[in-house]
Amino acid sequence: MAMELLSKENSGTNGMICSRFVLDTNAVIFLTAKGSIIPIGLQSELNDADLFVSVITEIELFSKQSLPLHEEENLRAFLSDRIFVLNITNAVKKETIALRRSTRLKLPDCIVAATAIALNAVLLTADTELLRLDWTGYSVKNLDS
């Protein structure tokens, strides 16, 4: 199963052709926040997609100081429901190094962007630096639009 998920084909885990999204930390926070209104078009796209987060995103989510227990439980439930948490692979390492050497992005942002590139996935974020990134193989969607 893991090898299938890391291939660059756009075939979903259920065998159907679908899209892939890597969720940035701010996207996970938005999608799990009470009262967040997710645009219908985005909700539909996410419902039909394979969803991933980088291990960096997982670390950022759970390392927040004074994270209330109910928020932690909500995040764990969201991640375990249908999100694949990906460790750093050799492909992600190589892409991260290239991004870090060529841009002013912070290392965690390089890792998250490289994860999306390695998966041939769209990065869902509201981070302005990641939205402005112009890089071969990189696709990004603004969470705010």
User: Residue 21: its pLDDT value, please?
Assistant: 98
Query: Domains in the chain, ordered, with CATH?
Result: 21-142 (3.40.50.1010)
User: Residue 40: its pLDDT value, please?
Assistant: 86
Q: What angle do CA 109, 84, 119 make, to 5 degrees?
A: 60
User: Residue 7: its pLDDT value, please?
Assistant: 37
What is the three-class DSSP state of 20?
strand
Cβ-based neighbours of 118, under 8 Å, separated by 6 or more:
6, 8, 89, 91, 92, 95
Q: What angle do CA 48, 52, 55 make, to 5 degrees?
A: 170
pLDDT in tens, the chain (145 residues): 232 333 334 444 444 446 999 999 999 999 998 778 888 889 999 999 999 999 999 999 999 999 999 999 999 999 999 899 999 999 999 999 999 999 999 999 999 999 999 999 999 999 999 999 999 999 999 998 7
DSSP string, 95-118: HHHHHHHHS---HHHHHHHHHHHH
Cα–Cα dist 38/29, whole Å: 12
Beta pairing, strands 139-142 & 50-54: unpaired
